[in-house]
Each structure stands twice: as C-alpha cells, then as structure tokens.
C-alpha cells in the first residue's frame, strides 16, 4: 500500500510544473475545447489516470470498514471500503489530484469537504459527485422521494418523467451532486429479476420515451446550477439474465438486441445523454465491460455517442476474478480501456496499474487523453470549475419544497393500477365504518421503494396514515405483521384473522420488502432476485384467513416486480397494485380507494400467473404459445400489458385509417372515437399497436407504437388521432437490413394489449 502512495506522490512531484498566469482552463469565457486542451497539456499521466477513477466517500469507508469483513466485500455491490487503506489515504489522493469522482457521498457537508480537498490540488480540477438518484435523490436523506420508475411507466406520462427528472436535478445540485446513475433503460423481461421496479417496464417503445424524457429533464442545457449529468444504464441485456439473477450471463441474438434492447439506449443517446454505464453481465460470452463491439462499434461508431462510459460497481475487476477472461487486474484494466471504457467505478489499484500500462507503452497516452477529455468536457459544461461548492444555507429551500412534494403526490396518483374491482371500490365511508388493516406494508416506509434512505416520519405518509387522513370518521384497527415477510409471526396472522370477523371490511397490504438499510432482509430490489413470484412467507395465508372471515377483503400490493397473486385474483373483490409509490404513496392509494382520485394507470409490464410462465410478455412471437401448457395453467397472463381499471367506463368506436395503401416512405392517420360512458370524469390511456402481418423475419404479434392520455367528462367524446410514420413500421429484415417491407399491416387500438379489447383495421404498404 505504502509503495502505491509513494509512487503517486513521486509521480506528482517529478512531473508537476508550477502554474503560470496564462491558465486558459480557468477562464470561463474561453471556449471549452481550448480550456480542455490547455488543462490536458498541464496534466501528468498520474493526474489523467486519476480523473478516470472514482472512489466511495470517506464516511462510507468509515462505516463499512468498522462493520464489514474483507470476505463480505467480495459479493457486496452496495457497500465498500479499501482494505489496507484508510479514509486519510483517500483524502490525500484527492488533495494530490488523483481522484476524478466520488459516489456514495450522501450529505452536502461531505461533498463540500471533499471538493475542498480537490481545490487544494495542483490544478484544482473539481470532483464530480455521482449518486443513484433513481426516483428523486432518495438515497440521500431529506430529499423528495418520487414513485419508482415502474410507477411512472404505468402512468404513460412522459411529461411527468421530464418533470421528476428536472426537479431531481435541482435537489441534487442543492447537495453539490452533479451526476445521477439514471435512467435505467433496460427492458424488463424476467419477473424474477429484482431490479424490475427501477425500469420502465417491458416495452421498448415506452421505455425509450420515458428514458429520453428523463435524460432531457436531468441534463437540461447541461450548464448552470440546476442541471446534472444523466447516465443511461446498464448496457446491455442484464434485464434478461439466463436464471433471473442480477449479473448472470445473458445470451441474446443480434436481432433481439437491435429490436428490443438497443432502442432505449439509442433514444437516450439521441436525447443527449453524456454518460452511459455498462452492464454487470457477460453478453454472448463477452463481459460487457470489455466488449469493444458494444462500447466502440455500436455506441460510438454507429450511434455517435459523445459522452463518457463508466463501469458499474467493481465490474472491471470482475473481468479477472469472476468472468476469468483476464488473468490479473492489470490485464482487466487494459482490456476494458482499450475496448472503450472511460471511468472506473471504483477502487484503489486502478491508478497504479493503469499508469504502469501507459508508461510501458501498452496503452497509448492518447487513448487516456480521449477519456479524460470526455470527463473534463462534462465538468466544464456543468460549471464545476467556477462553482465547485453548494450553499448549505440555501439547500433546503430547494429540497422537499412544496412544488416537488406536490409532484410526488400527483405522480403517485397517476401510477397506481387498479387491477380488480367487483364494484366494492370506491369505498363508501358511511357503509364501512370499522375496517381492519394489516399486512407487512400497511404502516411501513417500504412504500418509498428501493434506492431510498429512511425517511423522516413527517415526510412519509404510510398507507395506514393515508387511510386515516382521507377517511377520518372511519375506525381503522391495525394488526402489525412486522416489516419482514420471511419472519412473520403466526400468532399475528391469527390475530388479524380473528379481528377480521369483527370488521365491516378488511384491507391487507402485502408485497415485498425493499429498504436498503436492511440489506440482507430484503426480498426485492438490486441483487435481490427470486426463484418464484409468489408472495413471500405467510402473506398468502394471511390473505386467505382474513378473507375467510366472510367480510369483504381488499388487497393492496407494494412491490417492485410483478407478483403472481392468483388466489387473490380469483377470490377477492378488489386488488390495487401500488408498486412503490413514494413519500406520499399512502395518501394517493387512500384517495383512490375512497374515490377522491379516479385511477388511470395501466400496466407497463405483464403480470404472469406464476414464474413457470416466464417469459410472459405481450409482444411475443406468433409461435410462442403454439403448444399450450399441459398442467391446467393458461397461456395467457394473470393481467396483460396495458391493462388497468377506472371508476368510469369508456367506449371505443369508429377506428378509421386515412388510407388503405401507402408507399414504404408514406404516412397515414389512425383515428378512434373515445367516449366516457360512465358517471365521473376520468383519464384513459389509449393505446395503438401494430403488427406486420407477413414478413421475411418473424415479427411480434403486436407492438406498442403510440399512446395518448385522454381526459373526458361523463358523456364526453373525443376523436383520438395517431400518425403512423415509417419508423413505426420499420424493422430488421431477414438480412438484418433496417427498413419498411411491403405488405399488410394490422392496426389495433384499445385500452390494453389484450386481443379482445382491441379494434382492428388493416392497410397495405406498396
């Protein structure tokens, strides 16, 4: 260790030169390229390599070095320290200009402190602070916690995606954080995978739109004090692992990559994303972190990506110690950099070994300059050289402000899906005066979801609190089942079953547990993958015993992945899918249950009956269910993509096409009449699907190609018009040539992807 420190110190003292008065890089009026050229010319190799390295924060190191062993570090992808090194060593590296970035810095005080150390360095290059601000800057305390990405996707509200990202950026900058590791634009195709909830679902088109708006919201103009760097991740294929577990191998054909997994990343690049994170997994036998085809051929040569590529947590090291395609760390670093990697997350030995590779001539210094230029460009664009600190006195005027709180509540209202309702909802408070509430998520901050710090009680409304707030005259009797579904107490289940008989109505709030401060107790979230999708522990028993009371029983789900709640779907009168609705999720769900808000959300993914149906997606190929299952399980889902109920009803009529024939470069319009046939105002999400009837390569049975959120008063009708452009018809043909093939196309419009709900018309491309 001391040899590394000595080498770094000697490198600085030998190669450094005193600053002169012509420091163009410090001139805010100089062109950015001129500033970069000037700064690069002053930097040593050691300083350049340091800009390509990221460390965890010193408070993170202090905590984990005191509570973790070196053995526990090996498989942990959330917590770290550096054996043999102390926080003092990291502080020294920072003062010597050998650190480009920090992550897991969770307070403004620490961010400003570390930035102050960087300002003591020879060239005073500022740190860029990265954080997993997935649904708000929720991982850091005292920030607005919005609903998770899967909630947002179920709203089909792209404008809300932009707004949440924009507000998140403001709160991040108020904490001196400038880089969010979001949006996650992976296409979720396996319900066992624990990270489904941080994605925008299973449809490439919807994920692309949500991801693109998120990028634009985060980055703004990528300057000033309200913009942050977006990071599209994880490139690519980690959402379809071969066994459902995070980081396991992925084998995906080139066709599926280009048709399903690449489009959201391409949309993120087109939206201006200036950073991208590669995926944990190997792709078709090549680890993504050393995959030159992905990072160079596709990302830079085909898509013209201008930003920088960052590794995920210690994944360059895993090229050696897990994938075994590099015989040592030095070779792993070499392979990754030469394949296109720009920044390393995170670790000690990068600086020493990469510097050696440059001085040995294996990595040209010009290749290092490419990466450093990209990193410095972002730092200049974000104004970090002029404004390296954030004002602690002003921070809380931005964070948790009224505007942001209201957005969180509105997003929660729009992202909760009503899955089943046999007329019992909305509840009549005069009829149901005594209600028993129970379940692991009834009165827990778990509604915040993964990637959230514990919230102050005054900043979180649990479901029980929301019910009492919305219906103050109702007597709510609560039976606490604890927060851990794997360790439920049978006596508490029995207590709830007994109390259920005395109630007018019962509410069970079930699902998963996601809070990161109890990392090993979670059942959902990052690195929390499952071998089935049934409810964990005694939750099904709880639901069944409460329902056996004979009193109406409502199920509310709080979760990230789809859950196969088949028994509840068959036996209960109402099911509400809340996902992880954020800090005001309890209020939003209560408002929906009592009818103050009319639900409008639609599923952004398919909910299977069971894990045995995996893969269950709406946009499957025609032969996928040619042979049915023989064990009495259907070949259809429990709930289909695009599905969601309302307290009003809608009638779809008069689907018309503006033309019966078009050229391969032509366009046409599809129009449909939508009528609110119910008794209250509501918002319907109208969905347009297209199928290429006959094609040289097989095509999905349908693909979402457009949608519209339409608000109607009772009895009101509107004509909804979609424009079908060539990009909605094009695909990769038999020879992987992209374009529109002549032939028949089917247009489908309706309230979900289910065939029986869709109006259909056809047209021909000549």
Q: Just list the catalytic residues.
A: 312
The tokens describing 322, both together, are 């897990």
CB 150 within 8 A of CB 557: no
**DSSP H or E stretch at residue 47:** helix 45-51
Q: Are the beta carbons of 598 and 650 closer than 8 angstroms?
A: no
Please name the residues in contact with 319: beta carbons below 8 A apart, sequence gap of 6 or more.
Answer: 287, 289, 290, 325, 326, 332, 335, 336
State whether residue 592 is helix, strand or coil.
Answer: helix
β-partners of residue 670 are 657, 722
Cβ–Cβ under 8 Å, residues 496 and 542: yes
406: tokens are 């209201």
Q: DSSP of 297-310, one letter per residue?
A: IIIIIIT---SEEE
Give the separation between CA 564 and CA 537, rounded to whole angstroms: 14
Check: CB of residue 751 under 8 Å from CB of residue 601: no
CA distances from 212 to 231, 255, 271, 533 (A): 11, 22, 5, 30
Task: Determine the length of the chain.
Answer: 766
Contact between 541 and 508 under an 8 Å Cβ cutoff? The reply is no
How far is residue 269's CA from residue 211's CA, in Å, rounded to a whole number? Answer: 10
Rounded-to-integer distance, Cα 30 and Cα 288, Å: 38
Burial bucket for residue 227 (CB in 10 Å: 0-12, 13-18, 19+): buried
Tokens at residue 381, please? 């664009």
Torsion angle, CA of 232/235/238/240, rounded to 10 degrees?
Answer: 100
Are residues 219 and 170 in contact, defined by beta-carbon separation less than 8 angstroms? no
Picking from 696, 700, 699, the residue whose alpha carbon sits closest to that of residue 734 is 696
Q: Give phi and psi for 192, each to the nearest 5.
A: -70, -25
Task: Using CB atoms within 10 Å of the CB of residue 614, give its burial: 0 to 12 exposed, 13 to 18 middle, 19+ buried.
Answer: middle
**How much of the chain is helix, strand and coil, in % rounded to 5?**
35, 20, 45
Instruction: Give residue 416's Cα distance to chain centre.
Output: 17
Nearest Cα neighbor of 194 from 136, 158, 251, 148 is 148
Exposure b/e, 513-522, CB count within 10 A at least 16 = b: bbbbeeeeeb
Instruction: Report which of 750, 749, 731, 752 is spatially closest to residue 740, judged by C-alpha positions.
Output: 731
Ramachandran assignment for 424, one of left (phi > 0), alpha (psi -120 to 50 degrees), beta (any other): alpha
**106 within 8 A of 141, measured Cβ to Cβ:** yes
């Amino acid at each position: 260790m001391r040899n590394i420190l000595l080498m770094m110190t000697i490198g600085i003292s030998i190669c450094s030169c005193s600053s002169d008065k012509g420091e163009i890089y410090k001139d805010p009026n100089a062109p950015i390229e001129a500033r970069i050229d000037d700064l690069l010319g002053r930097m040593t190799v050691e300083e350049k390599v340091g800009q390509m390295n990221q460390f965890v924060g010193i408070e993170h190191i202090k905590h984990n070095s005191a509570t973790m062993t070196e053995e526990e570090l090996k498989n942990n992808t959330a917590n770290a320290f550096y054996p043999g090194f102390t926080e003092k060593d990291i502080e020294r590296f920072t003062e010597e200009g050998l650190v480009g970035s920090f992550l897991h810095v969770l307070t403004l005080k620490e961010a400003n402190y570390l930035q102050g150390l960087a300002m003591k360095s020879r060239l005073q290059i500022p740190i860029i602070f990265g954080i997993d601000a997935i649904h708000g800057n929720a991982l850091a305390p005292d920030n607005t916690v919005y609903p998770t990405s899967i909630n947002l996707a179920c709203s089909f509200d792209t404008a809300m995606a932009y707004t949440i990202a924009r507000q998140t950026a403001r709160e991040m900058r108020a904490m001196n954080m400038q880089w969010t590791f979001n949006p996650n634009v992976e296409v979720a195709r396996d319900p066992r995978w624990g990270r489904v909830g941080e994605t925008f679902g299973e449809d490439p088109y919807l994920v692309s739109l949500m991801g693109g708006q998120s990028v634009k919201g985060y980055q703004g103009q990528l300057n000033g004090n309200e913009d942050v760097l977006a990071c599209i991740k994880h490139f690519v294929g980690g959402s379809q692992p071969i066994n459902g577990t995070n980081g396991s191998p992925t084998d995906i054909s080139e066709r599926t990559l280009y048709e399903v997994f690449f489009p959201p990343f391409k949309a993120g690049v087109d939206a201006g994303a200036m950073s991208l994170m590669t995926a944990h997994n190997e792709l078709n036998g090549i680890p993504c972190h050393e995959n030159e085809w992905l990072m160079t051929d596709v990302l830079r040569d085909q898509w013209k990506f201008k930003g920088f590529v960052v590794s995920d947590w210690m994944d360059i090291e895993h090229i050696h110690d897990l994938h075994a395609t590099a015989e040592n760390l030095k070779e792993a670093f070499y392979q990754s950099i030469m394949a296109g990697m720009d920044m390393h997350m995170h670790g000690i030995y990068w600086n020493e070994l990469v510097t050696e590779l440059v001085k040995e001539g294996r990595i040209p210094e010009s290749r290092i300059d490419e990466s450093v230029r990209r990193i410095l460009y972002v730092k200049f664009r974000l104004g970090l050289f002029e404004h390296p600190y954030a004002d602690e006195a002003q921070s809380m005027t931005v964070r948790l402000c009224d505007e942001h709180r209201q957005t969180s509540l509105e997003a929660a209202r729009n992202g909760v899906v009503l899955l089943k309702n046999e007329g019992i909802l909305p509840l009549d408070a005069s009829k149901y005066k005594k209600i028993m509430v129970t379940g692991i998520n009834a009165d827990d901050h778990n509604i915040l979801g993964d990637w959230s710090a514990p919230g102050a009680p005054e900043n979180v409304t649990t479901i029980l609190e929301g019910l009492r707030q919305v219906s103050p005259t109702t007597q709510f009797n609560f039976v606490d089942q604890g927060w851990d579904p794997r360790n439920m107490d049978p006596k508490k289940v029995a207590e709830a079953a007994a109390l259920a008989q005395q109630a007018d109505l019962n509410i069970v709030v079930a699902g998963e547990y996601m809070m990161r401060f109890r990392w090993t107790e979670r059942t959902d979230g990052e690195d929390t993958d499952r071998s089935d999708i049934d409810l964990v522990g005694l939750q099904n028993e709880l639901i069944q015993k409460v329902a056996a009371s004979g009193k109406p029983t409502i199920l509310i789900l709080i979760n990230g992945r789809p859950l196969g709640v088949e028994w509840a779907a068959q036996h209960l009168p109402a099911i509400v899918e809340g996902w992880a609705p954020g800090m005001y999720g309890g209020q939003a769900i209560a408002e929906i249950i009592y009818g103050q808000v009319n639900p409008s959300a639609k599923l952004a993914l398919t909910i299977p009956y069971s894990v045995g149906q995996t893969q269950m997606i709406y946009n499957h190929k025609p032969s996928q269910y040619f042979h049915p299952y023989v064990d009495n399980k259907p070949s259809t889902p429990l709930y289909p993509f695009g599905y969601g109920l309302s307290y009003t009803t809608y009638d779809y009529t008069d689907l018309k096409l503006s033309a019966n024939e078009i050229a391969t470069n032509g366009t046409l319009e599809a129009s449909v009449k939508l009528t609110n046939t119910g008794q209250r105002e509501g918002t319907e999400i109208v969905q347009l699907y297209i199928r290429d009837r006959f094609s040289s390569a097989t095509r999905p049975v349908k693909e979402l190609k457009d949608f519209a959120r339409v608000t109607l008063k009772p009895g009101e009708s509107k004509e909804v018009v979609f424009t079908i452009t060539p990009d909605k018809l094009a695909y990769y043909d038999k020879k992987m040539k992209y374009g529109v093939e002549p032939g028949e196309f089917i247009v489908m419009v309706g309230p979900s992807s289910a065939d029986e709900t869709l109006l259909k018309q056809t047209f021909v491309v000549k």
